[in-house]
Amino acid sequence: MNAQLHPVPANDELDAFWMPYTANRQFKANPRLLARAEGMHYWTPDGRQVLDGVAGLWCVNAGHGRREITEAVTKQLSTMDFAPSFQMGHPIAFELANRLAAISPPGLDRVFFTNSGSESVDTALKMAIAYHRARGAGQKTRLIGREKGYHGVGFGGMSVGGIVNNRKIFGSSMLPGVDHLPHTLNIEHNAYSRGLPAWGAHLANELERLIGLHDASTIAAVIVEPISGSAGVILPPVGYLKRLREICDKNDILLIFDEVITGFGRIGKPFASLAFDVTPDLMASAKGLTNGAMPMGAVFAHRKIYDAVMQAPEGSIELFHGYTYSAHPASCAAALATLDIYTKEGLLTRAAAMSSQWENAVHSLRGLPHVVDIRNCGLIGAVELEPRAGKPGARAFEIFLKCFERGVMVRQTGDTIAMSPPLIIDAKQIAHLVETLGSVIRETA
Ligand code: PXG
């Protein structure tokens, strides 16, 4: 079947698009194009079907081509294409905020709209600083991130992030007053853990060391991903997040969860915070919010933060922050239609029902050549490979390419293959995804 909507660009027409997080020259010498998507699959321009093992980029949680979302966006665009949210409002934005507040972790029922995960993170960091200042603690400005963390590409998110390639070029342009906790990946102790690893809760105590170094009176917030995605799926050891929460509480430090990939059902509850029973003060989200159909993010703030910031003088703008496209009507329409699908199809909890099947499938790859660890939680899975000598990432990249040639899309990050399929995946598709990956790993030197 011909899946082309637009003519395929010729090789000399590929240069103008400077592609994000892509080896541009390598890609343009040998492009991999996607032209159509429906349900669990993509199709290439020449009509080849590809099973989507990563929900696009961790965002298409309800599967592709959902008619309800298309119709809601079409209707909204033809009714009112755009409306400002600065000193004006439109009804659908309030409806969406209420719907989100109803599924949020306890108390986080104030919702600020952005257009991406990066914007959600920078918004949450600014809210943390604004909160302390509103309470007369304006010296609390320091931000604590974590090694191997990914919080998007804004200057704030980059500064609290901890992936070296994202940082090294921009070293001198980082925010001042940022420090980092150690990451929690430890293959020596935790290789092949099923679900959360048992070893490592004590790593949260490193926060006490940083407090000893900087003093709590200078620290605004700690930001972590409940599960790191971009660094290759790093799971929180049992008890780790609870311990971070306790230390933050004791020291009047806000805890921010970056749930850009864990939000909206990925690990079997609407948010990881609910699955792990640890409530942050601020939560950044994006991706699954609109099923990837429109760009949108949301920051969930605890009511205490909203109330503190609202103490500004009557009639004044309380938080000097926002985006032209905050609460864009078409994105709001997409998000509402997405939430309807999630509710109707039970997708915010489906990963919990599928997780043991998923876990068994992913762990069946144990023992294959060069595999050194397998990690899983909810509908996230990762296979870590031994790097080729002197060529970090090369083996996993080759595996990613071969999987795509065989009709399965996975993600490669460093020497890890990550999988995060749409939450509608069925047993046969899980088997196909994992078996294809397994046979490619077997054949790759
Ligand atoms: N925080 C987290 C935890 C993320 O995973 C962002 C913020 C930034 O979101 P935006 O919408 O600004 O890109 C992300 C993005 C991958 C992968 O395969 C992960 C992301 C993006 C692209 C690829 O690991 N996460």
SS3 per residue for 217-259: HHEEEEEECCCECCCCCECCCCCHHHHHHHHHHHCCCEEEEEC
H or E segment at 383? strand 380-385
DSSP 390: T
Looking from the CA of residue 229, the nearest atom of ligand 1 is 24
Looking from the CA of residue 117, the nearest atom of ligand 1 is 9
Q: How many helices (H) and strands (E) does the chain have?
A: 16, 15
pLDDT at residue number 4: 59
- Per-residue pLDDT tens digits for 317-355: 999 999 999 999 999 999 999 999 999 999 999 999 999
Is residue 137 within 8 Å of residue 124, measured between CB atoms?
no
Q: Which residue, by CA, sits nearest to atom 22 of ligand 1?
A: 57
Dihedral sign, Cα of residue 186, residue 192, residue 193, residue 196:
positive
Model-level pTM? Answer: 0.98
Q: How far is CA 263 from the centre of its chain?
A: 7
Q: How far is it, in rounded angstroms, from Cα 230 to Cα 163?
A: 9
CA 83 to centroid of ligand 1, rounded, Å: 27
H or E segment at 37? strand 36-38
pLDDT at residue number 421: 98
CA 213 to centroid of ligand 1, rounded, Å: 31
DSSP 365: T
The number of CA neighbours under 13 Å toward the Cβ of 94 is 4
pLDDT at residue number 407: 98
Q: How far is it, in rounded angstroms, from Cα 436 to Cα 51?
A: 10
Contacts of 184 (CB under 8 A, 6+ apart): 197, 200, 203, 234, 235, 236, 237, 240
SS3 378: coil
Q: Is residue 378 classed exposed, middle or buried when 0-12, 13-18 and 19+ CB atoms within 10 A define those classes?
A: buried
Q: Which residue, by CA, sits nearest to atom 16 of ligand 1?
A: 230
Residue to substitute in 21, 120, 148, 150 for testing ligand 1 pocket (most ligand atoms within 8 angstroms of CB)? 150
Is residue 272 within 8 Å of residue 240, measured between CB atoms?
no
CA 311 to centroid of ligand 1, rounded, Å: 34
CA 261 to centroid of ligand 1, rounded, Å: 7
Ligand 1: which residues within 6 Å by Cβ?
57-58, 116-118, 121, 150-152, 225, 229-230, 258, 260-261, 286, 411, 413
Is residue 335 within 8 Å of residue 296, measured between CB atoms?
yes
pLDDT at residue number 172: 86
* DSSP labels, 287-348: GGGGTTSS--EEEEE-HHHHHHHTTSPTTS-S-----TTTT-HHHHHHHHHHHHHHHHTTHH
CA 125 to centroid of ligand 1, rounded, Å: 16
Q: How far is it, in rounded angstroms, from Cα 231 to Cα 148?
A: 6
pLDDT at residue number 182: 98
DSSP 195: S
Rg (CA), the chain: 22
Dihedral sign, Cα of residue 422, residue 426, residue 427, residue 428:
negative
- Per-residue pLDDT tens digits for 400-438: 999 999 999 999 999 999 999 999 999 999 999 999 999
CA 306 to centroid of ligand 1, rounded, Å: 26
pLDDT at residue number 5: 66
DSSP 182: P
Residues of the chain with pLDDT under 70: 1-5
CA 352 to centroid of ligand 1, rounded, Å: 22
Starting at the edge strand that comes first in sequence, how are the strands of the sheet with 36-38 ordered?
Answer: 36-38, 41-43, 49-52, 408-409
pLDDT at residue number 3: 55
Q: Which residue, by CA, sits nearest to atom 9 of ligand 1?
A: 117
Starting at the edge strand that comes first in sequence, how are the strands of the sheet with 219-224 ordered?
Answer: 110-114, 297-301, 282-285, 254-258, 219-224, 142-146, 178-181
Cα 157 to Cα 27, 134, 224, 270, 285, distances in angstroms: 27, 23, 11, 23, 13
